[in-house]
Structure 1
């Protein structure tokens, strides 16, 4: 069976999406699905090859996760086409991905939109901690972790019935 591919998308691929990918990979590593799902992250506006921000690395270290080997990746149309599920950090990111590849409709959601049980009128974005304090990064990391833990059963159900 071919691996399912999930891509997390944010702006620069140095904070939110690498943290999200690390959190989901960790959940998968502790599950029976670790060999069946591939997790990646990418950004919509990536400038060269950059590592995760020091604050993102620290926030992940405090969750016993290591993203020190992360290198930012520009999202491409091919990546969108090959993905089975795309989870963005904001509704704006989702719209930008759909502009790049309109056929992604149906497999792209903002992370909070996908993880929330009830679709409220207001779908909240995970705001960008770039340039903020370590405390803001830790809050963002926790928000992402909570959303992914909530989304995990839905991801499994979506892929494996």
Structure 2
């Protein structure tokens, strides 16, 4: 087995959206491939460094059946981006910020909902591999090759809404967006 694939999730403060995505995706990939085969982490473009997950975001994470144990926010750095095989951002604007930090990452950085759309009906024979790291890296390449080959999601459907300092319903909506994309992501990222 090769070294694990590394997935980085990115939002602004790294206390709501990106840790939610990180923990949900890590749990699903651990179930699919076994712990340690794919490593998911998160960071923020304006991170509230060392803060725990925001309480309402933690609530929706736990309601969905996942854990934030040990989570602490951290700042996005060029090194974190450079060592990643896939960067999934909460918004298209975050994707731009990732590319500013490490321009070569543009080919493997996607807004989460755009990525879910790109891989939703991608033929597995074009990327599937028995090794989890090879599988994820092949999927990223196949998704990147598909950019521009189909209409992008409408702007209002492409971003995971920022619930920070908003009512509980905003956190529920954020959770629904991520969990709604999860079956598409799991089907593409998991073994055949």
Q: Give TM-score scaled by structure 2 length.
A: 0.76
Q: Is the 8 A contact 1:52 1:68 kept in 2?
A: no
**CA deviation string 1:6-48 (max 9, x = no partner):** 0000000000000001111121222135331000011001133
SS in 1 for 2:180: helix
Aligned twin of 1:82: 83
Q: 1:109, CA displacement in angstroms?
A: 0.3
Q: Name which of 122, 125, 129 aligns with 2:154.
A: 122
Aligned twin of 1:153: 187
Aligned twin of 1:26: 27
SS in 2 for 1:106: helix
Could you tell me how far apart the structure 1 residues matched to 2:164 and 2:190 are? 31
Q: Give TM-score scaled by structure 1 length.
A: 0.90
Could you list the runs of 5+ residues in structure 2 that have no partner in the other structure? 121-149
Q: Is the 8 A contact 1:5 1:85 kept in 2?
A: yes
Could you tell me how far apart the structure 1 residues matched to 2:180 and 2:82 are? 27
Q: Is the 8 A contact 2:29 2:190 kept in 1?
A: no
SS in 1 for 2:53: coil
Q: 1:106, CA displacement in angstroms?
A: 1.1
Which runs of at least 4 in structure 1 moved beyond 6 Å after TM superposition?
none
Which is greater in Rg? 2
Equivalent pairs counted in the alignment come to 158
Q: Is the 8 A contact 2:81 2:105 kept in 1?
A: yes
Could you tell me how far apart the structure 2 residues matched to 1:55 and 1:63 are? 13
> Mapping of 1:44-63 within 5 angstroms?
44-63=45-64
Q: Is the 8 A contact 2:114 2:153 kept in 1?
A: no
Q: 1:120, CA displacement in angstroms?
A: 3.2
Say which structure is richer in helix.
Answer: 2
Aligned twin of 1:70: 71
Q: Name which of 153, 156, 166 aligns with 1:132.
A: 166
Q: 1:154, CA displacement in angstroms?
A: 2.9
Counterparts in 2 of 1:34 and 1:149: CA distance versus 1, 3 Å: farther
Could you list the runs of 5+ residues in structure 1 that have no partner in the other structure? none
